[in-house]
Amino acid sequence: MKPHFSLQRRPAAAALAGWLTLVGGLGAAAAGEAVPPARTNAPPPAVVKPAAKPRHQLTGAELYSMHCNRCHPERYPTERTAAQWKTIVLHMQVRANLPPPQARMILKYLQENSGR
């Protein structure tokens, strides 16, 4: 019967490297030798940011419903005149800490729908 392995003697380091390559495919890195990283001339991959979703711009009616309903029941825009709404919104902008762009949109909605 033939043996399954070679009976030839090899130096211990060569035998170990061959065994590591055979067993785990680890080669020189497993034997403790430093393996330099592969170098390429390719530029680093670009970081691709996902496209920002367009934000839904809230309407004056939505802002009015959202902000003014927090503390008291909503009033119909037809309950006041355009001049009265201007005074009320300026007052409430300070009390409710409304951002100026949102206060302007709310005022525009109320004045356009005041009916007077």
| Residue 7 scores a pLDDT above 90 | no
Q: How far apart are CA 112 and CA 75, in angstroms?
A: 15
Q: What is the tens place of the pLDDT at every residue in 39-66?
A: 777 777 777 777 777 778 899 999 999 9
Distances, alpha carbon 71 to alpha carbons 24, 64, 66, 75, 92, in Å: 71, 12, 10, 12, 11
Q: What's the mean pLDDT when you consider all of the chain?
A: 79
Tell me which of 41 and 78 has the higher pLDDT.
Answer: 78
Identify the DSSP state of 25.
Answer: S
Determine if the pTM surpasses 0.85.
no
Q: Is 98 helix (H, G, I), strand (E, B) or coil?
A: coil
The domain locations on the chain are 60-112
- Between 38-42, 45-49, 73-77, 89-93, the lowest mean confidence (pLDDT) is in 38-42
